[in-house]
Amino acid sequence: MDDDHARRLLRTALDEARAGLAEGGIPIGAALYGADGTLLGRGHNRRVQDGDPSAHAETDAFRAAGRQRSYRGTTMVTTLSPCWYCSGLVRQFGISRVVIGEARTFHGGHDWLAEHGVDVLVLDDPECVLLMREFVHRRPELWNEDIGDD
Amino acid sequence: MDDDHARRLLRTALDEARAGLAEGGIPIGAALYGADGTLLGRGHNRRVQDGDPSAHAETDAFRAAGRQRSYRGTTMVTTLSPCWYCSGLVRQFGISRVVIGEARTFHGGHDWLAEHGVDVLVLDDPECVLLMREFVHRRPELWNEDIGDD
């Protein structure tokens, strides 16, 4: 996947992150695209909005896509490097590709995914960095809760 | 944690697995216990019942427990070795201990968890083995879908 195409897909995840922020939530968004490029599902972190600690952006997008027989050829696009929970999701279900907005404010499991054959692209998008940097500065306790950091 | 105590906790996860089976679902159950031994949440796989591929037993129990400031000292009890998705959950949130009913019918990420400091206990419980063996024999396509096996 070329960078321009990946950046277009990232817009969907960024829109989700901003929607989450507008709801008072943690601004991380994601989208799952099919092998043919169709959008299968999109979502954002819902810890605050739904009181649901299991709803990370990637799991919310995965959930929205519903049951799928195979994830071969699919692409998970996320505004932030996926944590171990979301990296485990990608590995278990054989999602082929992960497009990541940024990995500066949080470095999750994407190196591990690359080692295990997942095609990983980190875009280092300044809007994604800014969104998280401002959020973590403003709500450090909420961010730590979301990644299980005591 | 001694074996007898672990086996008592496993009853809750087994009850959940059987409840899932009675609903026509995949018979895997889990429960999350606090550091002080209180039950924080319990749940089971809901792929079939809710059409939700993100609801594995462990994530369902984690969700049912709601927001927690820390998972230090908690125990995740599950009838089956946790897949990468659920193993990632345990690692990310710093769940201290995993009690596993069996790892014969499916070997997930529990060795990886042990390498990363999680206290892992595999009980090799015959009821858990029987429940999964019969299910996988009867519904192989559904089982493969649940673990992302093409």
Can you tell me the ipTM of this complex? 0.97
Contact B70/A at CB under 8 A: yes
Residue B148 to residue A92, Cβ atoms within 8 A: yes
Rg of chain A (C-alpha set): 14
C-alpha closest to that of A17 among A80, A64, A62, A59: A80
The helix (H) or strand (E) run that includes residue B10 is: helix B3-22
Q: Write the pLDDT tens digit of every residue in A31-85.
A: 999 999 999 999 999 999 999 999 999 999 999 999 999 999 999 999 999 999 9
**List of chain B residues whose C-beta atoms are within 8 Å of the C-beta of residue A68:** 53
Residue A33: the pLDDT is 98
pTM above the 0.80 mark? Answer: yes
Contact B87/A at CB under 8 A: yes
Is B58 one of the annotated active-site residues of the chain? yes
Q: Write the pLDDT tens digit of every residue in B27-67.
A: 999 999 999 999 999 999 999 999 999 999 999 999 999 99
Residue A91 to residue B84, Cβ atoms within 8 A: yes
Tell me the percentage of chain A whose pLDDT exceeds 90: 98
Structure token pair of residue A43: 């979502």
- A138 falls in which pLDDT band (50, 70, 90)? very high
Contact B107/A at CB under 8 A: no
Q: Which of A47, A63, A147 sits opposite B52 (nearest CB)?
A: A63
- Apex CA A54: angle with CA B46 and CA A44, to 5°? 110
Contact B83/A at CB under 8 A: yes
Find the residue in B nearest to A92 (Cα): B84
Q: Which of B66, B70, B89 sits opposite A88 (nearest CB)?
A: B89
Taking the CA of residue A128 and the nearest CA in chain B, the distance in Å comes to 22
HSE-CB for A53 with a 13 A CA cutoff: 27
Place of tokens 């206290």: B119
